Structure 1
Amino acid sequence: MRDIRLSITFTVVIVLLQCSVLLGQTIEGTIITGNRIAVADCTITVATKSNPTIIIDYTISNSEGKFILPLKKYEDSIIVAFSKLSFKSKKVQLDNTSQQLTISLEKSTEQLEEVLIETAPVVQKNDTLSYNVGSFRNKADEAIRDVIARLPGIDVTASGQIRYQGEPIENFYIEGLNLLDGRYNIANNNLPATAISKVEILENHQSKRVLDSLQPSSRTSINLKLKNASIATTLVGTGAGLSPFMRDGKIVPLYLSKKNQFIGFYKTNSSGKDIKNEIEDATSAQGFVTSEQEAIYRPEQLTSIIPITTPSIATTNWFVNSTNTGALNYLKSLNKNLKVKTNLSYINETEQQQGTKKTTFFLPQNPVTLEENIDNDYHISSFTGDITVDKNTQAIFFKNKTSFNTQQKTGNGTVYNDSLVQQRARLARNTLVNKFELTRPIHKGVLSFTSNVLYNNDDERLTLQEPVLFALNDESLALSKQYIQQQNLQLNNKTTVTKRLKNLNLETTLGYNYLSSKLESLLPSKANTSFSNELHFTNAQQFAGLGIRYYRSNWIIYSTNKLSYNTIDIGRDLTRKFTFEPQLLITKTLNKNYKINATASITNSFSNARELYDLPILLNFRTLSRYNTPIIQTRNTLGTITLNHKKILSGVFNRFSIHYSKKALDRTLSSLTSDTGIITTQAIDRPNVAQAITLNTALHKEFYKYDTSLKITGSKNYATTTVILNNALSKMQNNNLSLALATTYSGIEKFVFNYDTRYTQQKTRIAQQALETFTSQNHHLDITYFPLEKTSIEASASYNTFKATQTLNNNLFVNLGASYTGTKNIKYSISFNNLFNEEAFVTATSSTFFVASNTYKLRPRNVFFSVSFKL
């Protein structure tokens, strides 16, 4: 706690000091014509008297002709220039002190000479930041994702999620149309970079046009501008390799315009590419949730086989797969701004995992260590579809989306230790969801209504070939089978009326949420004993909320207070409770370069069906779990402060944030571990608090003159909680550090260099006992050489180290490749992968009371040949 308080105090002091420096002197002014008409979008630049040719700062006048320039300690005198097309440019020399100006510009009637205009790499106009793709794309870039990942201020995670200034984007548009919703990796990974002229970041983007002037958003979206009015093409690729035999094939037809859009694909591969993430929702992790976003219940699979932790390296080095996937996405703009959209996707995949796992259970008496060989294979088959109808105008917003999903997941595993355990887990899931939204103006305000309906049915089986012995209440149980069925029905309905009062919006909300779950399980025992759960769970919530949005100058303040009456019934226990949930969001734009965001919230949640079963459920061959507590309430306190800094002309995008979370609940997890690693868990009716503080920083810099980009990120996390291990109360502490650097250099003709490195450290303590400290380093270098116009040679190397108390492991992966584009733009490629034939990769994980090091078997040395072209 002392470390947390010191960190919070230090961060607040730093933020306040920066604010005190930023809130300094400014030049404010208005630009007008001789007829006193405001001149909008006029460029105002600043230079010093001693060096008037170098621009050191700039801004752009708004729609009212007004502008603000922050002053810095340049010199005593500065040169301020005003310029706009069709007006005569004007320069004035000013004292470097606060003052107010009125500048009059004259209309220009001069005939312009022919000039060469060089497009700026990044331009900001109001809340739109526009990146010129041509300024950032190099010869090695193929898909638009390659370019977006390097843009200053933007990050793309390993799963493909796009983040701007550390926050996930809300929408991904192509020419203003949202074809793909959260599955934007379909476009990001397949759309040719040469087809895009600009990538636009839409800051404070309100996706509902009817709310544009009433309710600005703090969220960010992205929009791709096509080079031409439309693009119609089909991407085709095929490839094969040895050893073992590998295949790779794709066909991607696409047509994109401002009215109609279509992207489809079929892909197949067994070469280690993880292509299924293209059809997964990349926006699922949204961070701060406001009262506008009602949670949709997503049931989790209860049973599983024992996995091996996958490596944090390129999937082509370890992912042993056979994958077939496809998608059809079509959007049609009809008359009167009505749009119809259909999205269908399918995946069929098998995966193999082989390796060893060494697990140490740090118990109060003596540690228990297990060493196991694991051989797993998984199969997943999934079909998903949705149809959306929406209308988005200044007079009405209407949207209805109906979705379905059906999937089968199977896992088969063999664990070799002192004995042999064969395990099989199966899940059959069917889900149907309908989301409806309606927003329209009413007298001096707006009426909004949302309704969500979800139905889900899960059927799970866990089978062990030979019974495993568990101890429960001093009784030895031989268990080998588990049957579970879950059914869930969720209803969310909410009505909000928004009224504008000068700079205030008042939002009154009434709503009703309902969740009904049914959980049935059967666990037979060889001792003629069986455990059967039949749990019927309902959670009904009526709520009312009052929200206040305040807008003035550069301030946005949003506060909401939600009062709920909750009724939770599980048959044996009935709970009725009032909950109060306040939330606050503050955004302050200090100037055109600095912005501060602060969020705080208190939310409440209650136990769901999968946390309330009385009798034991077998989660895997090692863990027997049960909850014999009453309905538990969890209170979550969250707080975040973020400082964003950007200087567009200099290519600088920096971010610093601190996040605090506290989870207070009325139960503590108790785990009993035997000397063979068999775990029995149950919840104890005892209060518990889990706290965490996370510091994040990101520094992005573009050196335009040297064709170089640099990104540095860092994260520090400290978390504490309490656990009960073998009847002993213990405090657990986690202390994690992550540092990363990525740079791209293309300043040497015919060469492109990419280098990135990451360092991670993971420390865990239980009851003042220090567990193993894990550290890892990853270094990756790509060099691409273009000896001829249509020929490239690629070389890549990855060096990875993993270090623990008794473990030191190093890996060096080297790949070589070459490509040639022949007639009819057919591209031929060959690659030699894992030249040093690295066989295993070591990773580590830690949990509440154990640490595990995993040695993962890698793909062998191989060669791969491919051909790709456009139709």
Structure 2
Amino acid sequence: MKKLLFAFTLLFASSIFAQSYQFKITGVVASEKDKTPIEAATIHLEKAKDSTVVTYTISNNKGLFSLEGKTYHKNVKLFISYIGMDDYSKSIQLDKTPNLNLGTVLLKEKSNLLNEVVVKSRAPITIKKDTLEFNVKSFKTKKDATVEDLLKKLPGVEVDEDGKITVNGKEVNKILVNGKPFFGNDPSITTKNLTKEIIEKVQITDTKSKSEAFAGEKGDTNNKTINLTIKKENNKGWFGRVSGGIGTDERFEGAAMVNRFDNDQRFSVLASTNNINSPGFSFGEIRKMFGGGGNIWINGNGGFNVNGRSFGGGSGIIKSKTAGATYADEYGKGLDANTNYFYSGSSSNNESKSSREYTLPDRKYFSNSTTTSVDENHNHSIDTDFDIEIDSTFLININPSFVFNKREGSSRRQEESLDANNTLTNSFISSAYSESEANNFQNSLDITKKLGTKGSFIKASVTNRIDKADTESINKSTIEVFGSNPSTEIRDQKSATESNLMGLNTRFTYRFPLVAKKLFLDTKYTYLRNERENINNTFDFNTTTQQYSDFNTDLSSDFIYNDIAKIPSLELVYKTKKWNVNFETGFINRTLENNDKLRPELSLEKKYNNLNLDASFRYRFDSKASVYVNYYINNNAPSINQIQPFSNVTNPSNIITGNPNLKPTQNHRVYMNFNKYNWQARTGFWFYVSGTLYKDQIISNTTIGDDLVRNTTFENTDGGYDAWGGGNYSKRIKLDSLTSINLRVGAYLNANKNFNILNTIKEGARTTSLQPNIRATFNWNKLVSIETRYDISFSNTKYDINKNQNQNFTRHLVNIRTRTNVPKKLEWRNDVRYTYNPNVIGFNKSAWFWNATLAYSVFKDQGTISLKAYDLLNQNNNVRRTASANYIEDSESTVLQQYFMLGFSWKFNSLGKKGSIKEYDFHF
């Protein structure tokens, strides 16, 4: 029976492949008017039956093109298109002419350029100067695909497992809808919630502010912006989704989003809550909504962040709540308005522990610590963006924003130090409780006036910022020192801290054209002023009065710190179709002032004069490849805690004192990237490399006594550096019209050298890490997708003096993601990860992590029932090993454990023809 089944399968496969048609179509595209070759014309092949795109390419700088592949359809149609030219089309029968040389195809200038009729391009891809435009209809995706699913299909565009989007290696930091922000500039809300069916075009450009785009400036060449244009007939109506789930271990999640689009007017609301460490962005079915990954990091001082948006308090197990609304509209001809409100709240519980091995010039010692914390955080943010276009030469941008934050938290920390013989030397126990409120207001004003027709303009920008924070805290601690001279210090204190910041950033620019629209001279003047006030009143507990009434001068402060910078500069700008060259140099006059009211003897004033330099060039070889190089020098001033000669004894086992003689750190940085994408072969290659050399780098200078109590100050040093780079090569292998394999091989490299001074001996540590990776994705007929990835990280740390402490670390990561839609209404997703840390000491070295989701479509695909399993193998951990110039640390903290969850999701969509809005009643 098995042999018969195998023979039948082989015969069936042979018959399938026998029906496919190989083809190769070549030619040259040129202008009929002057017979010059046309670069970046789009050539694509469609099925004659249903106009489905079979394959496509673009012409090179000599007008040459070649289409190769195979398809099951013998009747196809060839199209050649270019902006401003009439399309060329030709019907082809592949069974009769599998190899076709069209010779030179001459395109005529469009005859209807001045007519009212506009012919929409059917080309899958169009190149318009610095904009790459994709026709959404040309790219197949699964049913109910999101924008993120669509982006994964576009050549040169990559979306990693965390939702980070890159285009030829350059990160996408802004996504617009019809040219306007959607819930601010958070890309994940847009890509994970909006569906492909409402999108007509995807446009990719270099990131620019509205003022830069209006003035014709280059913008940010290292980041990309994606603009999604919505079909006109789909730009009126309602759409959205509601989801919820209940799971084991009292886990839950719920989220909803409702959108109303009416041409230029747009309104959306969202809300969510869960206790699965997901700020409204969760794994599985709800991931199709406005979240599910993104660039997420969790810090240890009461906050986590998704794609730059803060979601409040705590590490460990987090219960979060979010709510938001966005409104955009055009008022009259010249006023655009966009307003966003977002609330995020969270409560968290966390326990972390770490073990460190310190290496001193004459001995070793060890420390172990355990910290438990509970945090509650509430954050409200409002931002508004007004664009006022007075006329075609005069633009005003106003962007006010306000943030209010309230936080309450408590923590307990136990720390012990042991000598080389593991004998306890000292111990530190502390408990703390704090309440804080913070307000932030910021407003940016940009005024741009274009002068004449040669590219000249005047631009002025002003940004002011006001921060105010108030904190009340109670700290109790005990430090015990053992050995020949034992001691015990007990603290019980209450503090009230007030922190205020007044910031002002102004810039004036005048651009003068030396050669019209090509060569410019920019004169600039920048003025920066940040005034920070800090008042901290600390009182010891009085055992007689039973009140916090004894003022503690050592732990109190009252000062105003000013950082003032004046920067005149000149910039030379040259830009053509292939070249973009910028050279800017400026002189920075910086003043640092500290007015200490509690300790007048610590008041200081420092003045510094430094040179700033920023030079870059970008060259486009053709429509497929470009190179970018940048070199700059900038200066970073020391922070107040580094420069103020005040001893911070908050932690009596680690006393920190500033150094008033510190100089600003000067950074010399070089950056280069190169990318190339072959549209015909579906192969892409990009790499980047960068390095920074530090002059007067600020490092720590620590003295550790026999009791292992640390006294730290700061010094300047030379010789530190950072270097990093990476790249990958990707290739798409199309087996047939239904099946494809995407391969990607890449590597990332990082090297740095840091210094510190320990007991008067300066130690340097050079760390080099290399992370090669390989990824393969198999797709079949939108029904099956299998993605595999393997990463291996090598890290090597070498010391200048303590060479016997050199370290080598290795980490392995295997990731397998699968999606099947068989039958079509049932979707089964798996995410399996395996990590192996062979060098970790004291914690689990390896772990498997497996998430799975089953989702079944009901109610004509409007509803989905899902079953989610998180950490099926119950092995999730976050063990880490880090190394510095004088210690190695292994750490671990609380992570979310295994749970199962049953959920339901319902979507609705009443987007209709232009000019009509279908009314819809909602009952949630």
TM-score tier (shorter): 0.7 to 0.9
1:642-661 residue pairs with structure 2 within 5 A? 642-661=673-692
Question: 1:322 is matched with which residue: 301, 319, 324?
Answer: 319
**2-side partners of 1:606 and 1:822: how far apart?**
60
- In structure 2, the residue matched to 1:565 is 589
Aligned residue among 266, 272, 281 for 1:267: 272
Using the alignment, how far apart are the partners of 1:450 and 1:709 within structure 2?
Answer: 46
Moved more, 497-506 or 649-658: 649-658
CA distance, structure 2, for counterparts of residue 69 and residue 845 of structure 1:
53
> Does the CA contact (< 8 Å) of 2:29 and 2:37 recur in 1?
no
Instruction: Rate the CA distance shift 1:169–1:626 in 2: closer, same or farther, 3 A.
Output: same
RMSD, aligned CA: 4.2
- Give, in whole Å, the separation in 2 of the partners of 1:399 and 1:360: 54
Q: Which residue of 2 aligns with 1:775?
A: 810
Q: In the alignment, what sits opposite 1:716?
A: 749
**Separation in 2, partners of 1:184, 1:466:** 44
Give, in angstroms, the shift of residue 854 of structure 1: 1.8
Deviation at 1:439, TM superposition (A): 0.4
Tell me the SS of whatever aligns to 1:187.
helix
User: CA contact under 8 A between 2:642 and 2:713: conserved in structure 1?
Assistant: no
Corresponding pairs, count = 779
Distance 1:613 1:775 in 2: 41
* Alignment partners' CA distance in 1, 2:347 and 2:303: 17
Partner in structure 2 of residue 516 of structure 1: 531
**In 1: Cα distance, 2:153 partner to 2:479 partner:** 52
- Please give the TM-score of this superposition, normalised by the length of structure 2: 0.75
Aligned to 1:454: 465
Q: Which amino acid in structure 2 is aligned with residue 374 of structure 1? A: T
User: For 2:121 and 2:504, how far apart are their aligned partners in 1?
Assistant: 55
Aligned to 2:864: 827
Is 1:153–2:156 an aligned residue pair?
Answer: yes
Q: Which residue of 2 aligns with 1:190?
A: 193
Q: Deviations over 1:683-735 (max 9, x none)?
A: 13x43442111121122333345423233332111111221123321112121
Q: Is 1:31 the counterpart of 2:44 in the alignment?
A: no
Report the residue type matching 2:239 in the other structure: T
User: Does residue 865 of structure 1 match 2:871?
Assistant: no
Partner of 1:237 in structure 2? 243
Name the counterpart of 1:813: 849
Instruction: Say yes or no: does 1:638 pair with 2:669.
Output: yes
Please state if 1:433 is matched with 2:463. Answer: no
Instruction: Say which is worse superposed, 378-387 or 812-821, in terms of deviation.
Output: 812-821
Q: 1:374 aligns with which of 349, 371, 375?
A: 371
What letter corresponds to residue 721 of structure 2 in structure 1? Q
Q: Tell me, yes or no, if structure 1 residue 575 matches structure 2 residue 588.
A: no
Give the structure 2 partner of residue 333 of structure 1. Answer: 330
Does the 8 A contact of 1:88 with 1:108 survive in 2? no
Cα offsets for 1:34-63 (capped at 9, x unmatched) = xx69998883879xxxxxxx9997427xxx
Which structure: larger Rg? 2
Cα offset, 1:841, TM superposition: 4.0
**Superposition pairs for residues 35-114 of structure 1, below 5 Å?**
43=41, 58-59=58-59, 68-69=62-63, 86=86
Match of 2:181, SS state, is coil
AA of the residue aligned to 1:860: Q
Residue 167 (structure 1) aligned with residue 170 (structure 2): yes
The residue type paired with residue 598 of structure 1 is: V
Q: Structure 1, residues 400-454: CA drift from partner, whole Å, max 9, x if none?
A: 1111111123443333566654334554321111100010113552110100001
Match of 2:772 in 1: 739
What displacement does 1:150 show?
A: 6.0
- Bigger shift: 204-213 or 420-429? 204-213
Measure, in 2, the Cα distance between the counterparts of 1:178 and 1:81.
Answer: 35
What residue in structure 1 maps to residue 393 of structure 2?
Answer: 395
Tell me what 2:657 maps to.
626
Q: TM-score, normalised by structure 1?
A: 0.80
Quick one: distance in 2 between partners of 1:863 and 1:784?
Answer: 19
Which residue pairs with 2:579 in the alignment? 555
Alpha-carbon distance change, 733 to 769 in structure 1, aligned in 2, over 3 angstroms: farther
- For the pair 1:543 / 2:567, whether they are aligned, the reply is yes
Unaligned stretches of 5+ residues in structure 2: 1-26, 45-53, 69-77, 91-102, 112-119, 283-289, 305-314, 417-426, 542-549, 596-602, 909-924
AA matched with 1:600:
Y
Cα deviation, residue 674, structure 1: 6.1
Amino acid at match of 1:710: L
SS in 1 for 2:720: strand
Helix, strand or coil at the partner of 2:189: helix
Does the C-alpha gap of structure 1 residues 345 and 168 become closer, same or farther in structure 2, counting only changes over 3 Å? same
Whether 1:693 aligns to 2:723 is: yes
Q: Deviations for 1:488-513, whole angstroms, at most 9, x for unmatched residues?
A: 11111111111222221111112322
C-alpha contact 2:666 2:697 (8 A) present in aligned 1: no
Residues 547-566 of structure 1, C-alpha deviation per residue, up to 9 Å, x if partnerless? 11112341110111112322
| Other-structure match for 2:15 | none
- Provide the C-alpha distance between the structure 2 equivalents of 1:657 and 1:763, rounded to a whole number of angstroms: 22
- In 1: Cα distance, 2:194 partner to 2:178 partner: 13
Residue of structure 2 equivalent to 1:314: none
Verify the 8 A CA contact 1:542 1:565 in the aligned structure 2.
Answer: yes
Is residue 462–residue 620 contact of structure 1 (8 Å, CA) maintained in 2? no
CA pair 510-755 structure 1, distance change in 2 beyond 3 A = same
Shift, 1:237, TM fit:
0.7
C-alpha separation in 2, matches of 1:336 and 1:577: 48
Tell me if the contact between 1:427 and 1:458 (Cα under 8 Å) persists in the aligned partners. yes
Contact 1:305 1:424 in 2 (8 A): no
**Code of the aligned partner of 1:721:** N
- Structure 1 residue ranges without an equivalent (≥5): 1-26, 47-53, 61-66, 75-79, 91-100, 110-116, 286-300, 308-317
2:615 equivalent to 1:584: yes
Q: What is the identity, as a one-letter code, of the residue corresponding to 1:692?
A: D
Partner amino acid, structure 1, of 2:339? T
DSSP-derived class of the 2:821 partner = strand
Work out the CA distance in 2 between the residues paired with 1:464 and 1:866: 44
Change beyond 3 A, Cα 1:758–1:611:
same
Distance verdict in 2 for CA 1:858–1:674, change over 3 Å: farther
Structure 1 letter corresponding to 2:270: F
The residue number in structure 2 matching 1:497 is: 510
Q: 1:397 to 1:620 in 2, by over 3 A?
A: farther
Deviates more, 1:413-422 or 1:718-727: 413-422
Q: What amino acid maps onto 1:750 in structure 2?
A: L
Query: Residues 300-330 of structure 1, C-alpha deviation per residue, up to 9 Å, x if partnerless?
Result: x9x95999xxxxxxxxxx9522111111111
Match of 1:96 in 2: none
Give, in angstroms, the shift of residue 847 of structure 1.
3.6
Note closer, same or farther for the CA distance 1:131–1:367 as it changes in structure 2 (3 Å cut). farther
> Which of 172, 177, 181 matches 2:180?
177
Residue identity in the other structure for 1:334: Y
Contact 1:817 1:830 in 2 (8 A): yes
**Alignment-mate amino acid for residue 645 of structure 1:** K
CA distance in 1, matches of 2:65, 2:904: 57
Residue 850 of structure 1, aligned match among 876, 884, 887: 887
Provide the C-alpha distance between the structure 2 equivalents of 1:256 and 1:748, rounded to a whole number of angstroms: 32
Map of 1:216-231 to 2, 5 A cutoff?
Answer: 218=221, 220-227=224-231, 228-230=233-235
User: Which of 353, 356, 361 is residue 356 of structure 1 equivalent to?
Assistant: 353
**Counterpart for residue 345 of structure 1:** 342
Q: SS of the residue aligned with 2:689?
A: strand
| d(CA) in 2 for partners of 1:788, 1:734 | 51
